[in-house]
Chain A
Amino acid sequence: MIGYGNSMFLATHGILARAASGGGFDPDAQAFITAAGITNPTQQGAINTLVVALKGYNIWTKFKAIYPIVGGIASSHAVNLKTPGTFNLTFATGWTHSATGMQSNTATFSNTFLNMSTQIASVNNWAAGFYSNLWVSGNVDMGADTFTGNFYFTSKSPNLFGGNNARFQFNDAVQFADTTGTGFYLGTRNSSTNGKGYKNGVEVANLTNSNAGSFANLNVYLGALNRNGTASYSTNVRYAFWFIANASFNPTEQANFYTAVQAYQTTLSRQV
C-alpha cells in the first residue's frame, strides 16, 4: 500500500516501516516528492522506503546532500532529498536524463553548490559517493580540487590511471582495482589518520596518513572535477544516486547504507 514503504524488506532488516501521522509518507520523503514533482507511485514509494530506512539505520542526520536521481527529468533530478531547495543541482548542457539516471557525455558537469570547505565541519569526519549503473568512459566522477590534492573520487578510469583502476582522494590518493566502473561507491574519512573506500558495501581501499589536507574552497562538481573553478575530466557514465555527508561512516553504517540504496535502485529496476 502506498505510504507504508517496503515493509517486507524493512521488517527483514529489523526496521519497521512507519507512516507519518494520517497514514501518508515520511514527512522528509513527502517534502522531496512535492519539490521534485514525483507523481509515479512506484517512485514515491521507493523514496519513502529509502528515507525510512536511512532513519531506521540512524544515518539520516549525517547527510548534507542526497541526490536520489528519480523522476527522469532535469528538474526532478536536481532536487536535494535531504533539504529540498538547498544545494539543488544545476546542469551544464549535455546530460541525458531518464528513468534510469543521469548520463554525462565527457563534456558536461553538474554543480552541487556545496562547498566542502564551509559545509563540512572537519576534514577528518566526512563521506561522499555515488551509484552508477552504466560505464562508457571514466574520468573524475565528483570532486573539487586546486591541483594540490583535496577531494575527488573516480571509478574505473583507464584514461587517468591505466588499466582498471579507480581512486579516492583526500589529500593523498588511494587507488583500487575496479573492473566494472558501476556500483555504489563510498569514500569516508573517519579519523585524523585513516580513510576508507568501499564499493557495494565491501572495503576496497584503506588509507593511513596523518594529514587529511584541506577542502578546496570550491563547489563540488558531479560528473567531472571542479579544478580551480573549471570543469575538467568529465565522464561518460550514468549515475543513479549521489551523496555528501558531514560525518564518516563506520563499516556497519556503510553496509546498511548500501543495503538501503541497493533496495532503492532495485525497486526502480535500475540496479547493477
Chain B
Amino acid sequence: MEGRIVTNQQAQELQGVFFDADTFFNFVQDINDVYFLFLSEQDEADIAPTEYAYLLDIPLSPYVPKPSPPFSPTE
C-alpha cells in the first residue's frame, strides 16, 4: 500500500478538515509514526480544484502499518 507522506504540522492542521461536503482528510501514522494520507481516485478528483491541490503533488511512498494492538483486554 502506498500513500502520501505529510509533516506532523500538516497532519495536525488538516486532520478532520472537509474538502467537500462529505469527505474529510484523515491521516494515519505508519510503523515509524510518520503521517500518511491515502486518497482514492475520487478523492483526488475532488481535491484537485480546491486549495488543497498541492497535496496531490506529494509522491507516493510505501506504507508499513503499525502492529495492531490487542483487540480485546483478554487477547
A10 to B18, CA, bound (A): 42
Q: Could you tell me the distance in whole angstroms from the C-beta of B69 to the nearest C-beta in chain A?
A: 8
Query: What are the residues of chain A within 8 A of B69 when measuring CB–CB?
Result: 232
Query: What are the residues of chain B within 8 A of A96 when measuring CB–CB?
Result: 40-42
Q: Could you tell me the distance in whole angstroms from the C-beta of A209 to the nearest C-beta in chain B?
A: 16
Q: Could you tell me the distance in whole angstroms from the C-beta of A46 to the nearest C-beta in chain B?
A: 22
Query: What are the residues of chain A within 8 A of B36 when measuring CB–CB?
Result: 107
Asked if residues B22 and A78 are in contact (CB atoms below 8 Å), the reply is yes
A147 to B63, CA, bound (A): 27
Q: A93-B23, A94-B38, A108-B26 are in contact. Are A159 and B43 (CB under 8 A)?
A: no
Q: Could you tell me the distance in whole angstroms from the C-beta of B42 to the nearest C-beta in chain A?
A: 6
**Neighbour of A93 across the interface among B1, B26, B68, B71, CB < 8 A:** B26
A2 to B42, CA, bound (A): 30
- Chain A interface residue count, Cβ-Cβ cutoff 8 angstroms: 26
Total residue contacts A-B, CB cutoff 8 A: 72
Q: Could you tell me the distance in whole angstroms from the C-beta of A125 to the nearest C-beta in chain B?
A: 25
A92 within 8 A of B: yes
A105 within 8 A of B: yes
**Neighbour of B21 across the interface among A75, A105, A107, A159, CB < 8 A:** A75
Q: Could you tell me the distance in whole angstroms from the C-beta of A234 to the nearest C-beta in chain B?
A: 9
CB within 8 Å of B: which of A129-181? 147-148, 159-160, 173
Q: Could you tell me the distance in whole angstroms from the C-beta of A76 to the nearest C-beta in chain B?
A: 9
Q: A106-B1, A108-B38 are in contact. Are A91 and B24 (CB under 8 A)?
A: yes
- Closest A residue to B42 by beta carbon equals A97
Q: A89-B22, A91-B23 are in contact. Are A148 and B39 (CB under 8 A)?
A: no
> Chain B 1-33 against A: per-residue CB contact (8 Å), 1 yes, 0 no?
101000000000000001011111110100000
A97 to B44, CA, bound (A): 12
**Neighbour of B71 across the interface among A90, A91, A95, A160, CB < 8 A:** A160
Query: What are the residues of chain A within 8 A of B28 when measuring CB–CB?
Result: 107
A78 to B63, CA, bound (A): 28
Residues of B within 8 A of A (CB): 1, 3, 18, 20-26, 28, 36-43, 46, 63, 65, 68-69, 71-73
Mind listing 28 A-B residue pairs with CB under 8 Å?
A73-B42, A74-B20, A74-B46, A75-B21, A91-B24, A92-B24, A92-B25, A93-B23, A93-B26, A93-B43, A94-B26, A94-B38, A96-B40, A96-B42, A97-B40, A97-B42, A105-B40, A107-B38, A107-B63, A108-B26, A147-B72, A147-B73, A160-B71, A231-B26, A232-B68, A232-B69, A233-B68, A233-B71
5 closest A-B pairs by beta carbon, nearest first, are A92-B26, A94-B38, A74-B22, A96-B40, A107-B28
Residues of A within 8 A of B (CB): 73-75, 78, 89-97, 105-109, 147-148, 159-160, 173, 231-233
